[in-house]
Structure 1
Amino acid sequence: MAGMADPVPPPSWRSLRLRVAAFLLALLGLVGLSFASLDLQWGRFFGPQSLARMGRFAGELLSPSLDGRFLARLAPALLETVAMSVVGTLLAALGGLLLALPASRTHAGDPARWRGPSRLLLNVLRSVPELMWAALLLIAAGLGPFAGTMALALHTTGVLGRLFAEAIENAAPEPGFALRVRGVGEARVLAYAVLPQVTPQLLSYTLYRWENNIRAAAVLGVVGAGGLGQLLAFHLGLFQMAETATILAAMLVLVLAVDGASHGLRRLLTR
């Protein structure tokens, strides 16, 4: 028909291959420039003295300490790390949901006046790493698990808030529309139409972040935020490799246990 634009033909196979080849060459060039800009002293790293030191270090790590007094100190630190991850994740889930509601547009006619500022706040919270939050909070709260817990909560609030907002915006609009045409208020629409749809997804996101937070909680103690990390920093600073090996083994067991528990709970939610 007259006035209709001709359809754009799809790119040829030859043109597509040229684009992919150009992209791969550019990527390889970028990798090459990255290596060239770094002062990587491979000769010293793989030299006989370095290999001997690494072998001695590995041998010491393969002999963990099983001293009863040390294990008695390790158990409270282990529980403290778990508590930091649990409380931090729960606070983040609550804060993320409270910020996700104004950060999401629930229907086409929703003005969502606070969407921009809320999303900006979520971006700020998650752009600062947990270690940086912990370092800042240690100045105000001092050493201990409180700073680590709040650092996890602040960073994870930004992550979960964004994920929660996307889940709320992607919920099926039909149940909410059916309630709105009958004059039901937005609060009840959210409670009876939107949240029941997205609750399994929100719980799945929360459990996944708990997996990440148990690893982060084990590391945050390195800057003095309590838990296994603080014990690790202490013994590693004194070059007590046997105790360090035991702490690393406890971290590994803890992470594997939490990963397994979280995976099982997420499978139950998706059934």
Structure 2
Amino acid sequence: MSHMPAPPARNWSGWLFAAALAALVIASFATLQLKLGELFTIEAMHSAGNLLAGFAPPETASGFLRKTGIATMETLAMSALGTLLAVAGGLLLAIPGAGRFGRAPRALIRGLLNVLRSIPELVWASILLVAAGLGPFAGTMALAAHTAGVLGRLFADALENAPPLPEQTLRLNGATPMAAFFYATLPQTLPQMLSYTLYRWENNIRAAAVLGVVGAGGLGQMLKFHLSLFQMERAATVILAMLLLVAVVDALSFALRRALTR
């Protein structure tokens, strides 16, 4: 008689993970003491309505619109330059972070990338404002520091996951390691890296607008100033400029990503 095969062992890891996740969600709701009911009371809606009514109509004076346009360009420049510096730094860190020079440098660089991206842009800006003073320079460097950690990790993962056969073929045919990397591995990962870069640029537009709240220049600094003086009409114009800038950059980034994937 042939023996029936033993049934496969039950895998409990998925169920344990789901139970732990459910417990975490329940604990979060229990400890945060969310008061969702108070959000929809008549008094809360009346207060929110009065606040929103103060934003209308937005300020349209030519002098203020010119000042808002200058701040918009400053925010755009902060995000673009910060992203560009982050790409350069992230790529330099990604090469050893992908294990190109051994396990010890890989672990060290991965730890550095974890530190860079775990510190939010607002914290980086607060630190750099002490060293560099108020203005867009601190905001630009804050964006570059945080984004370099994010892009460095993504670039390193892309390099590690690239098929090794093309580079090995070039190495076997006498190419130097650097030449094989630049002619085989890097071209394979370049479209993915460009996609990551464009996505992070979109995020940095929003972050640059927020960084101005701590004094890093741009639209955020204007928004904080006018809100602190309860100049709601001028604040509304700044908010509309933020929305327009984000929409334009999102559309441009989407078009560039589609062009790269064709």
- What is the total number of aligned residue pairs between the two structures? 258
Q: CA deviation at 1:153?
A: 0.2
- Determine the structure 1 residue equivalent to 2:229: 238
Picking from 82, 98, 107, the partner of 1:88 is 82
The worse-fitting range, judged by mean Cα deviation, of 211-220 and 57-66 is 57-66
Separation in 1 of the partners of 2:137 and 2:121? 13
TM-score (norm 2): 0.90
Q: CA deviation at 1:211?
A: 0.5
Report the secondary structure of 1:101's partner residue: helix
Picking from 94, 104, 123, the partner of 2:98 is 104
Structure 1 residues 244-268: Cα deviation after superposition (integer angstroms, max 9, x where no partner): 1111111111101101100110111
Matches within 5 A, 1:41-52: 41=35, 45-52=39-46
Q: 2:162, 2:189 within 8 Å by CA — same for their partners in 1?
A: yes
User: Is it true that 1:77 corresponds to 2:71 in the alignment?
Assistant: yes
Separation in 1 of the partners of 2:173 and 2:13? 53
Task: For structure 1, list consecutive stretches of 5 or more residues without a partner in the other structure.
Answer: 1-5
Q: 1:63 to 1:32 in 2, by over 3 A?
A: farther
Separation in 2 of the partners of 1:117 and 1:178? 29
Q: What letter matches 1:95 in structure 2?
A: G
- Determine the structure 1 residue equivalent to 2:189: 198
Q: CA deviation at 1:52?
A: 2.0
Q: CA deviation at 1:70?
A: 1.2
Separation in 2 of the partners of 1:195 and 1:126? 23
- Determine the structure 2 residue equivalent to 1:64: 58
Report the secondary structure of 2:200's partner residue: helix
Q: CA deviation at 1:72?
A: 1.5
Q: Structure 1: which 4+ aligned runs deviate by more than 6 Å?
A: none
- Determine the structure 1 residue equivalent to 2:28: 34
- Determine the structure 2 residue equivalent to 1:219: 210
Separation in 2 of the partners of 1:182 and 1:267? 36
User: Is it true that 1:121 corresponds to 2:112 in the alignment?
Assistant: yes
Q: 1:122, 1:161 within 8 Å by CA — same for their partners in 2?
A: yes
Aligned CA-pair RMSD: 2.4
TM-score (norm 1): 0.87
Separation in 1 of the partners of 2:60 and 2:42? 32
User: Is it true that 1:186 corresponds to 2:185 in the alignment?
Assistant: no
Separation in 2 of the partners of 1:166 and 1:269? 20
Q: What letter matches 1:213 in structure 2?
A: N
The worse-fitting range, judged by mean Cα deviation, of 174-183 and 42-51 is 42-51
